[in-house]
Structure 1
Amino acid sequence: MSLRTAGSVLVVFLWSVAGTVSAVEGHSYFHVTYTHQRICTLKGTSVDISCSYTYPSGHTVSETNWYTKGKLNKAPQILSPGYGGRVEYLGNMQSDSILRITDLREEDSAEYKIRFRTDQTTWEPTIPGTTLTVTGLQVKVTPATVTEGQKVTLTCSTTCTLSDNPTYIWYKNGHVTNQSTSLFLNPVSSEDAGRYSCSVEGHEDLPSDEETLTVT
């Protein structure tokens, strides 16, 4: 995973429910509850991955790490605060923690986990974590070959489902033309030919690449 300095406005698209993991030490339990099991968010934005945790009374948390396994058979990558200029730890670090990653890119997609140790234990616990998927936007044209008079659909496509019913903005030749998930041209004409792109409302600075619609 490549991390480099950048900044961006915070946007997060979430789905699924919280997950919990427990580790047993004798008759004492360590619990971690992740706020979300899965997060789908836009490339170029920021994300907060959060959790809360409990441990036996009398213990004090001495160190907390967020990490990701990365590729198979690779050692865990510790994402310490400031790592690559894009990582920040938030929360009180005794009962809750937030991993903030800025300037997201698709290679940041991974499962992120927290581990902590107390003054009386080694690292507790590890899995499961929160699975982050970072997606860009892509314009898809159906059908692929367009003839005048056909019904044509342009879809603002993502690799995962963005929650919160985001509003999409459509551009033709660089100018705003519509607001909808899909753009329907029925029937399509030669006047509809041009360069189309889309963005999510509120993040117009992160549009998709342009797709050229040719009408024959």
Structure 2
Amino acid sequence: YCKRLLNDILSVLIPFHLGLQVKVTPATVTEGQKVTLSCSTTCTLSDNPNPTYIWYKNGHVTTQSNSLFLNPVSSEDAGRYSCAVEGHEDLPSAEETLTVRYGPKSTSVSVSPSGEIVEGSSVTLTCSSDANPPVDKYTWYKKNVTSPKASGQSYSITNIISEDRGEYYCEAQNGRGSRNSTALMIIVAGKQTSVLTTAVGIIVVVLVLILVSLDSCGSGDPQEEVMPQQTHSVHPDPNSDTYTALNMKTRSPEYDTLAGLPHCHSLSDRC
């Protein structure tokens, strides 16, 4: 009795746990092709001869059916798949991986640092793309320029000048294809003087002008003091050796003769 009971228990538990199997055909596929996933058991379920299978993708329920048909398969279908018998969801099968290979997609360009780009500064453009296998070649282009600008996932422009303005884009490639990003416009602004620098410059100029003015006032020829003219009365000093009193009578006898002559008041007077 004990042996029969143990066999009954094992016949119920073991098939559900070990008998379920997921088969992915093919396991690796290129996007656009078709894939079939089937779930089967090696045991006969006495209580449910035609079971309904529940499918899981990455641990989440997706659908209920014996098989999954993915046609055409996309990159979003890649993942880990398992199945379980309805009513026994706690005993799922082992997971099988579906690998989908695809060319680059969602290719985009980002710029660092962000914000205004000023002449003399540097910027770095980075290309990003989703692909399987991963992108193995990045090429950089500038619109209206025939030859490539650079290669590699990042492209740096140092000491940028006005001629660097324009639209830039990248091309991502792998063994499954290639994809261009949308163009990113680079606008180069002229060098700008900060408000603080301008204010400091104005203050320095004002101070220099003040110092020059003060220096001119201090080093210029001093104005001669204008002394008020004083009116001096000159009185002869008879005692001085350098002064001789003028006495016409003592100097010449003709003075008396001249003094005695009549005075003419006009040209009509006859003297």
Q: Which structure ranks higher in relative contact order (CA pairs < 8 Å, sequence separation ≥ 6)?
A: 1
**Which structure has more strand as a fraction of its residues?**
1
**Which structure has more helix as a fraction of its residues?**
2
Q: TM-score, normalised by structure 2?
A: 0.39
**Which protein is bigger by CA-based radius of gyration?**
2
Q: TM-score, normalised by structure 1?
A: 0.47
